[in-house]
Structure 1
Amino acid sequence: MRLPILIRTYHAMTTVLEPAVIGLLYWRQRKGREDKTRLGERRGYPSRQRPKGHLVWVHGASNGETLSLMPVVERLTQRGLSVLVTSGTKTSAALIARRLPPGAVHQYVPLDVPRYIRRFLKHWQPDLALVAESEIWPNTVVALDQRRIPLVMVNGRMSDRSYQRWQKLPRNIKALLERFALCLAQTTEDAERLARLGAPRVFVTGNLKFDAPPPPADPRAVAHLSGLVAGRPVWLAASTHPGEESIALAVHRALAQRHPNLLTIVVPRHPQRGPEIATLATQAGLRASRRSQGMVPDRATDVYIVDTIGEMGLFYRLSPVVLMGGTLTPIGGHNPIEPAKLGSAILHGPHIHNAEEIYAAIDKARGALLVKDNAALARAVSELLSNAALTRRMARAAADAVQALGGAVDRTIQSVEPFIVQAKLGARR
């Protein structure tokens, strides 16, 4: 079918502007946002040999999306398929490297430039492509369709904000969604929006993040740090963004007298912000130490800054009270499922549109609490640190709410079973 003129224009512009894209990549690399040693992967150059046999390409944009796909990747490898997992960020690559099962490899996803996509597909030759959530890149979608490689959206999301934007370009989104062999949505609302925009085959399978295992931690590290902070009131601000660290520091100062030896742990979403947060703590009159410098929280430490990658499992296990970042500033909120599975009482701000249904379920079960400002956050942290029974009840309620919403992995694998059979037979759509 003929593509709308806007998609054809996008294809032409991304072709013509390829030199500018290369410049953008090098600029991002200088800023620390791209992996210098693997920059070629972003242009479709492989750094690994293609495994023999039939291969499934599985893609998630960043940390949460790719980690939620790991149970699906494991199921595929157990079926005897090779799996190529792609993502677009350095932190996701570091996390995935530790969790990939045998039979799976990781590469950075190529940018949506026609030549990069052709180069990528020519080398990897996937028999099936699974993309998570709302990754709809026009050149990639069209290239897969031209090669008759089935494309399935898994854990599909279509927020109201995205839906309103796409409604202004109805022919374009319809032309792209029609090229998906199947769309598996997280919720009924997501499914309805995808169908109204033109996806011909949509089913609700639930949210894969509810089935993802909690992040691991070395038991020796847990025991060591637990010993260091024993007897101290501890709370954690997780996956924070600019503005939220200042709030956490203000809460620490407000509670320090009522809770002697209080330890505030801050884990920024972007670890490179560690020095900046340490400066904020010093300016607030607090004693800070940074994990990236090999420091541990001794008795003199007020604020412990975890500016490293892949240690959330350790610090969720250490902290009975967790504030989820991205919720006090208009980021949209990060996934609270991991702390729920690891026994934390959860606090969050009002900005939760990225994971609204998850927060709604945990809030309803009284496993999480909305805090609208600094004062409310300080009151909630203080009450939970003072009332261990309440903290345990909230943590149990959060864990039960998450467990009750599981099963999406089984439903997803059942839905893509026909395509798995095709892949194993080497048949194309």
Structure 2
Amino acid sequence: MAPLLYRFWVGASTVLVPFAARVAISKLRRAGVPVVRCHEKLGHATEPRDPDAPLVWFHAASVGETQAVLALIGRMGHALPAARFLITSGTATSAAMVARRMPPRCVHQFSPLDAPGPLRRFLRHWRPDAAIFVESELWPQMLRRTHARGTRMALVNARLSAKSIANWRRFPKTARYLFEVFDLILTQNDAMAEAMVEINAPADRVARGINLKSLAGPLPRDEDTLFEARAALGHRPVWIASSTHPGEEQTVLAAHKALLERYPDLCLILVPRHPDRGQEVTGLIADAGLSLTRRTRGDMPGGQVFLADTLGELGTWYALGDIVFLGGSLRPIGGHNPFEVAQAGAAVLSGNHVTNFAETFAEMEARGAARLVADARDIAERVGALLDDPAALEAVRAAASAFTRDRTDMLDSIAERLIKALELAPRA
């Protein structure tokens, strides 16, 4: 019998679905999503399902989780040439990213609300043969209703926050009821595997996997834009600060002002995590007394700072510089994905707050592929040291590239484990 907490959620979601739908659809509409696609949140499909092909459904939350599985879908598609793939996610940004990097035989839909009506419509149309959930995107009814259809299910890249784990411990019956639906649970590390078992995930189905973000392909880049940007920069030295959050740009700009005293032609490419903060960051650059160009005005790199406040162009900017500072790390945010930087062949700098990628940064530091910094002075010293010593910079870049190459073979292993656990027919 379903636990009381689950039954309460089913009842509450039935009552609240009109309000939740209004909020979700309004958010997508503000992001420019067409009305017909917004109704995917209510389970109304906008793409057909191939009736003759097995369908593997991947469900992720947003951009980071979606990026993590694209390469995996590619490998599984190679092993399962008859299969089709469905990706669901919740944000307009993730939908735009998937559209740019869509693997073969794959479609995207916005994830249905976790309520009876939307899920019934969604599952009735798509009838997935297997479902793979990513990280912590665990909606109770979505899990149980998919399981009730007889669909084989897996959780990959499993990562729960300390707060989530504490909450699951308070409701052990509900945790067991939800986690028992999975035929395989692959965690990011050993500590998370132990935590999953402690909160009543079936121990015989939990195993350490690998952080899939380390296996995602390199970010796309636009060669025409790259050519124009290089022409605009000429022979100027460049460093990049990407995925910065509120309170971090001031530190980065202070570091850049210090660097300009030694390298007056140095250009900083500043890429805020959320491009809609572009006007705010423009004000911070002006307050720092620095000249700038801005991508949303159609500018190319120039001035002392180039504000890259657009979506989908990060791979192009990474190709312009050999030194990248990753934000979300000077404050207790948890850090961001260093693999994208390493795959671009750049040296990785980051603040100390990297709990989301702690094991990764530890290994990269040990191999000389990354450096952690604490404040503006530290950033300026690290960047300056690399600019002063081309041989040292090349050694860090080579270590970063080697780190990513050593992990690519693991992707085939993950794909094979999923194909076996989900009883998908491999290629003859």
TM-score where L is the length of structure 1: 0.92
- Aligned counterpart, 1:70: 70
- Segments of structure 2 that go 5 or more residues without pairing to the other structure are none
1:352/1:387 CA distance change after superposition, 3 Å: same
Do 1:81 and 1:424's aligned partners in 2 also have CA atoms closer than 8 Å? no
Contact 1:127–1:423 under 8 Å retained in 2: no
The reply on whether 1:42 has 2:44 as its aligned counterpart is no
Cα shift at 1:233:
2.0
How far 1:408 sits from its partner (Å)?
Answer: 3.3
TM-score w.r.t. the length of structure 2 is 0.92
2:247 counterpart of 1:248: no
Q: Secondary structure at the match of 1:17?
A: helix
| Among candidates 264, 268, 289, match of residue 268 of structure 2 | 264
Structure 1 runs not aligned, ≥5 long: none
- Take 1:27 and 1:350, find their aligned partners in 2: how far apart are those partners? 37
Cα drift, residue 36 of structure 1: 5.3
CA distance in 1 between counterparts of 2:35 and 2:405 reads 40
Q: Which residue matches 1:277?
A: 281
Q: 1:86 aligns with which of 78, 88, 107?
A: 88
Structure 1 residues 12 and 61, CA gap change in structure 2 (3 angstroms): same
Aligned residues: 422
- Counterpart in 2 of 1:17? 16
- Give the superposed CA RMSD: 2.1
Aligned counterparts of 2:340 and 2:197: Cα–Cα separation in 1 = 31
Structure 2 match to 1:380? 382
| Distance in 2, Cα, partners of 1:315 & 1:65 | 22
CA shift for structure 1 position 402: 3.0
Q: Report the Cα offset of residue 30 of structure 1.
A: 6.5
Q: Which residue of 2 aligns with 1:7?
A: 6
C-alpha contact 1:76 1:83 (8 A) present in aligned 2: no
The AA in structure 1 aligned to 2:321 is S
Structure 1 residue 33: Cα displacement: 9.0
Of the three residues 223, 226, 232, the one matched with 2:230 is 226
Question: Which whole-Å CA distance do the structure 2 matches of 1:292 and 1:119 have between them?
Answer: 40
Instruction: Report the Cα distance in structure 2 between the residues aligned to 1:181 and 1:103, rounded to whole angstroms.
Output: 25
Cα deviations by residue, 1:321-360 (Å, 9 ceiling, x for unpaired): 1111111122211100011111111111121111212111
- Whichever residue aligns with residue 73 of structure 1, its letter is I
Q: Determine if contact 2:152/2:422 at 8 Å carries over to the other structure.
A: no
Separation (CA, whole Å) in 2 of partners of 1:178 and 1:33: 38
SS at match of 2:415: helix
Change (3 A) 1:51 1:308: farther
Overall identity of the aligned pairs, in %: 39
After superposition, the Cα gap between the structure-2 partners of 1:347 and 1:422, relative to the gap in structure 1 and judged at 3 Å, is: closer
Q: Helix, strand or coil for the counterpart of 2:242?
A: strand
- Retained in 2: the 8 A contact 1:76–1:82? no
Q: Distance between the aligned counterparts of 2:208 and 2:89, measured in 1?
A: 24
Question: Is the Cα contact below 8 Å between 1:362 and 1:402 reproduced in 2?
Answer: no
Is the 8 Å Cα contact of residues 222 and 313 (structure 2) preserved in structure 1? no
Amino acid at match of 2:230: S
CA 1:327–1:411: 2 relative to 1, 3 Å: same
Within 2, Cα distance between the matches of 1:271 and 1:423? 43
The 5-angstrom pairing of residues 278-293 of structure 1 reads 278-293=282-297
Deviation at 1:259, TM superposition (A): 1.0
Are the counterparts in 1 of residues 228 and 300 from structure 2 also a CA contact under 8 Å? no
Q: What is residue 150 of structure 1 aligned with on the other side?
A: 152
- Residue 396 of structure 1 is matched in structure 2 by 398
Give the secondary-structure state (helix, strand or coil) at the position aligned to 2:262. Answer: coil
After TM superposition, give the deviation of residue 291 of structure 1 in Å.
1.1
Aligned to 2:142: 140
- Residue 212 of structure 1 aligns to a residue in which SS? coil
* Partner SS, residue 319 of structure 2: helix
Report what 1:345 is aligned to: 347
Q: Structure 1, residues 295-338: CA drift from partner, whole Å, max 9, x if none?
A: 1123xx11111122211111111111111111112221110001
> Matches of 1:397 and 1:10 in 2, distance apart?
49
Q: Which amino acid aligns with 2:103?
A: P
Q: In structure 1, what is the equivalent of residue 201 of structure 2?
A: 199
**Structure 1 residue 178 corresponds to structure 2 residue 177:** no
Are the equivalent residues in 2 in contact too, given 1:150–1:180 (CA < 8 A)? Answer: yes
The 1:319/1:35 distance shift into structure 2, 3 A limit, reads farther
